[in-house]
Structure 1
Amino acid sequence: MLKLFSLPALGAALGGFVGLRSGHNPYYSGPVSDHYDGVKFFNPSGQNGKGFKDLVRWRLADGKEEWPDEFPSPFRDRPPQRVEGAGLRVALVGHASFLIQTAGLNMLTDPVWSERCSPVSFAGPKRVNPPGIAFGDLPPIDAVLLTHNHYDHLDIDTLRRLVAAHPLRIVTPLGNDAILREAGIAAPIFAHDWGDRVRVSDAVHVHVEPAQHWSARGVLDRQRALWAAFVLETPAGAIYHVGDTGFGDGAQFSAIRAKHGEPLLAILPIGAFEPRWFMRDQHMNPDDAVRAFVATGARQALGHHWGTFKLTDEGIERPPEALVRALAEHGVAPERFRPLRPGEVWEAAAGA
């Protein structure tokens, strides 16, 4: 069974098959909205992922490319303690985990230092490269931004280590605060809806913005907690960070541009996209990511969500290969959209 279904995929899909029968939300209670029906959250587009039968069809199909047991990155970062003022330094830890340093603040997105992204430590997707920043080399962490509750984004073991070592606060969409508190995460947690603006410091605010995705931790809680993207309002400029999303009709990306102006930086997922019939609603492929980048008008993009955990069917180097083709097709210079490896750093040019 474990060979056929990874535990996160099986649990999540069973959540869709079983959990929607329940009229209970253990994480959140609030007013009905255009993306919350009183029990579960949903994408207004109507694209809300697949169910158990589709999961079985996917896992039994051919076309899965093997990954190597190890895919070491040539980079290793030892970040400075702080980056002050309008300076901006962004380092990929791995998968969707970034260290963002600006305005004297150190922020982590979806931090995962564990060997596996799974509800158990002995099975599930295992990392094929170590974190690009050793845990002991982290500077003081001021804030953690959690986009949603899938195991490759919300890792309780890592959060416990971080909270024990750093006096941080956590910003996350609605409902995920209950998951964190139940797990004993003893940090200030700020849970917000799409459209909310959260003060992190006098100089930095976080906007919680829509993403087309879904959520689940087990077999009865599908779509009981919200998912989101973030826009960081900083002295360096706006940073648009997406953990997971489908492209949909692209309106969510043009809406970012209309609301926040053209971001300085877009951090976009480019991996976990095959097979398209199954993944399209929840994960962008590189062509989607380039179209999203163009729609936002961002000056620079960084690609993530590839090359660390095998979650889907494509080979380990297919995302950057497909990104090269997509950039050429859309007439975007390759240096404007870099598919980062763990430990690789991007810094904003002075006066950017």
Structure 2
Amino acid sequence: MENSNPSGQRAAPVPPYYRGAVSDHFDGERFFNPEQPWSKTFVQAMRALVLAPREPWPGAFPSPFRDRPPARVDGGRLRVALVGHATLLLQTRGLNILTDPVWSERASPFPFAGPRRVNPPGIALDELPPIDVVLVTHNHYDHLDLPTLAEIARRHRPRIVTPLGNDTIMARGAALEAEAYDWGDRVALSDDVAVTLMPAVHWSARGVRDRRMALWAAFVIETPDGAIYHIGDTGFGDGRHFADVGRRFGPIRHANLPIGAYEPRWFMRDQHVEPAEAVKIFQACGAASAAGHHWGTFRLTAEGIERPPQALARALPAAGIAPERFRALRPGEVMEVPALENGTASLEDGSPGHARP
């Protein structure tokens, strides 16, 4: 990420992605989680991601599903389709919203190395409906893919909404215009739909010298039919962020929750939830339904490719939750999310539910 310097002198640091006032999660140079400061070292990262024992993955893991979405979904109907990893197409109220779009073969800065996808995108790029809004949660390569963003911008001219600093990465890397916001900022997407950026327990980097220079976030999409909670990546922390979303935005009609890339736990617990923790998020926010994503497409960590849905299948009955309410999606798989019953999430199977105050 730094400029090369043939003279051997130390290269100039990465220019800041964001400049702004100091806050409870920004020290003037870098962002941080107030309740869980990042403490892992480069050596620990190498131990966890390179040297830790890894279960084998197949070279190919094709999905049995393939989606050809409609042009629009009107009214209170909510259609959720997994493209792959953390890329989902959300259709409701006449809007087409795409999260963390990655159609590239690798989640990497290099076209020849790095995590390679083991299944094709569940929706072909040519079969996307008109995209109105793209939500990018943070700048890791499996979430912010500049070639894909540039192609979607060329074809669809969507609004791109992202946390602070990521707009600079998009502008520098692909001449893209994005709207960047802080935690707590609310953005109108249409007359009756808005999105609010909320905290997540994570971090950011595109290289080794730009750690935490751009913010990360979850998104809450407010609609007249209940809220949609989308988390790209998060650790569980003390759980208060998820309960706060339920209190502030409930009833939560649907949540997109990560369930993969969590081993070894000693390293990953600060940044990625395991399936049992994803179930706790589901309960804490009071969601009526959920889609499990962030598994089975790019190998990022040590667990086997089918461990996340297997662990989710164990965690749901242990929490008293019907398995059809929280599904681990495969690329191309679609959820037609039911309407909320009486305007609130069900309280019958272990989820607390929340009513808007």
Q: TM-score, normalising length from structure 2?
A: 0.90
> Please, which runs of 5 or more residues in structure 2 have no aligned partner?
2-11, 342-357
* 1:30 aligns to 2:27 (yes or no): no
1:134 to 124, 144, 159: 124
Change (3 A) 1:348 1:168: same
Mapped contact 1:102–1:236 kept (Cα < 8 A): no
Mapped contact 1:172–1:192 kept (Cα < 8 A): yes
Change (3 A) 1:279 1:62: closer
1:269 to 238, 258, 261: 258
Q: How far off its partner does 1:329 sit?
A: 1.4
- Taking the TM superposition and a 5 Å limit, the aligned residue runs for 1:62-101 are 62-101=52-91
Structure 2: distance between partners of 1:164 and 1:96: 21
1:202-249 CA distance string (max 9 Å, x none): 121000000000000112110000000000011331000000000011
- Taking the TM superposition and a 5 Å limit, the aligned residue runs for 1:112-191 are 112-187=102-177, 189-191=178-180
- Taking the TM superposition and a 5 Å limit, the aligned residue runs for 1:1-352 are 26-48=16-38, 50-59=40-49, 61-187=51-177, 189-349=178-338
Mapped contact 2:49–2:301 kept (Cα < 8 A): no
Partner of 1:19: none
Partner of 2:344: none
Structure 2: distance between partners of 1:350 and 1:228: 26
Q: Which amino acid aligns with 1:252?
A: H
Mapped contact 2:107–2:142 kept (Cα < 8 A): yes
Q: How far off its partner does 1:53 sit?
A: 1.3
Q: How far off its partner does 1:351 sit?
A: 6.2
Structure 1: distance between partners of 2:289 and 2:150: 33
Size of the aligned set, in residue pairs, is: 331
Structure 2: distance between partners of 1:107 and 1:97: 10
1:136-193 CA distance string (max 9 Å, x none): 0000001100000000000000011101100211000000011111123434x21000
1:38-60 CA distance string (max 9 Å, x none): 01000011242522110232245
Structure 1: distance between partners of 2:331 and 2:175: 26
Mapped contact 2:87–2:98 kept (Cα < 8 A): yes
Between the two proteins, what is the percent identity of the paired residues?
63
Q: Which amino acid aligns with 1:85?
A: G
Structure 2: distance between partners of 1:126 and 1:161: 19
Change (3 A) 1:55 1:298: same
Change (3 A) 1:59 1:214: closer
Structure 2: distance between partners of 1:328 and 1:61: 34
1:320-346 CA distance string (max 9 Å, x none): 000011112111111111000000001
Structure 1: distance between partners of 2:321 and 2:34: 30
Q: Which amino acid aligns with 1:270?
A: I
